[in-house]
């Protein structure tokens, strides 16, 4: 998930530097909508990516119930290698990217950007006019991806919202007009 930061995982450097083990040949991935049958594998991937701040299964299940139309996965035929999740806010013109993650061994291949571009296109087609997301202020890789996708601080102080996710859990809130 990205409603909470991978950066708080037990291995923050691997998340932030992208230093990953990569076999010589990677299996091609296909982007597709999630199905109910994907939930156990999606939960495995979410725990791999976000570790102790991964969604509990019940939460993932309910997010699926609410947002399956905006939950895309990358499937290599054997395992899921990434996902993006978006939701529609109270104001029906506002969408939120709630989660974005790519398996560690598949980072740096452009998969995160593919997921982001696809979900933004779908939100635009759904009539969403503004998209927001939050990110840990120390998550250099994700921030670079978001800024190069056009996101900019959505609030004062460069988007920094202190204690946004509870005491000590600061977030940057970024936004993009579609």
Ligand X SMILES: CC(C)(COP(=O)(O)OP(=O)(O)OC[C@H]1O[C@@H](n2cnc3c(N)ncnc32)[C@H](O)[C@@H]1OP(=O)(O)O)[C@@H](O)C(=O)NCCC(=O)NCCS
Interface residues toward ligand X, by CB under 6 A: 2, 5-7, 15, 17-18, 49, 100-102, 107-113, 135, 139-142, 144-145, 148
* Residue whose structure tokens are 């450097």: 13
State the nearest-atom distance from the C-beta of 135 to ligand X, in Å.
Answer: 4
State the nearest-atom distance from the C-beta of 150 to ligand X, in Å.
Answer: 12
**Distance, CA of 165 to chain centre:** 16
State the nearest-atom distance from the C-beta of 107 to ligand X, in Å.
Answer: 3
- Per-position b or e across 25-60, b if 16+ CB within 10 A of its CB: eeeebebeebeeebeeebbebbbbbbeebbbeeeeb
Q: Which is nearer to ligand X, 88 or 97 (CB)?
A: 97
Beta strands in the chain (DSSP E): 30-33, 71-75, 80-88, 94-102, 130-135, 152-153, 160-161, 171-177
Q: Which is nearer to ligand X, 86 or 111 (CB)?
A: 111
CA distance 8 to 92: 31
Q: DSSP character for 55? A: P
What is the enclosing helix (H) or strand (E) of 124? helix 111-125
Q: Which is nearer to ligand X, 36 or 52 (CB)?
A: 52
Cα(first)–Cα(last) distance of the chain, in Å? 23
Q: Which is nearer to ligand X, 21 or 36 (CB)?
A: 21
State the nearest-atom distance from the C-beta of 102 to ligand X, in Å.
Answer: 4
Q: Which is nearer to ligand X, 104 or 128 (CB)?
A: 104
State the nearest-atom distance from the C-beta of 15 to ligand X, in Å.
Answer: 5
Residue sitting closest to ligand X (CB): 112
């Amino acid at each position: 998930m990205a409603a909470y930061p991978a950066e708080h995982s037990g291995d923050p450097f691997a998340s932030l530097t992208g230093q990953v083990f990569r076999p010589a040949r990677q299996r091609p991935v296909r982007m597709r909508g999630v199905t109910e049958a994907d939930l156990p594998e999606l939960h495995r991937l979410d725990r791999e990516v976000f570790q102790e701040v991964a969604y509990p299964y019940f939460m993932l299940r309910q997010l699926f119930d609410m947002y399956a139309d905006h939950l895309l996965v990358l499937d290599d035929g054997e395992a899921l290698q990434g996902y993006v999740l978006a939701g529609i806010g109270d104001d029906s013109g506002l969408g939120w990217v709630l989660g974005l993650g790519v398996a560690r061994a598949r980072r740096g291949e452009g998969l995160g950007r593919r997921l982001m571009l696809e979900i933004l296109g779908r939100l635009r087609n759904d009539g969403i006019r503004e998209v927001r997301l939050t990110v840990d202020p120390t998550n250099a890789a994700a921030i670079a991806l978001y800024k190069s996708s056009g996101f900019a601080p959505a609030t004062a102080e460069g988007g920094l919202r202190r204690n946004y996710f509870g005491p000590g859990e600061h977030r940057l809130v970024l936004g993009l007009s579609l």
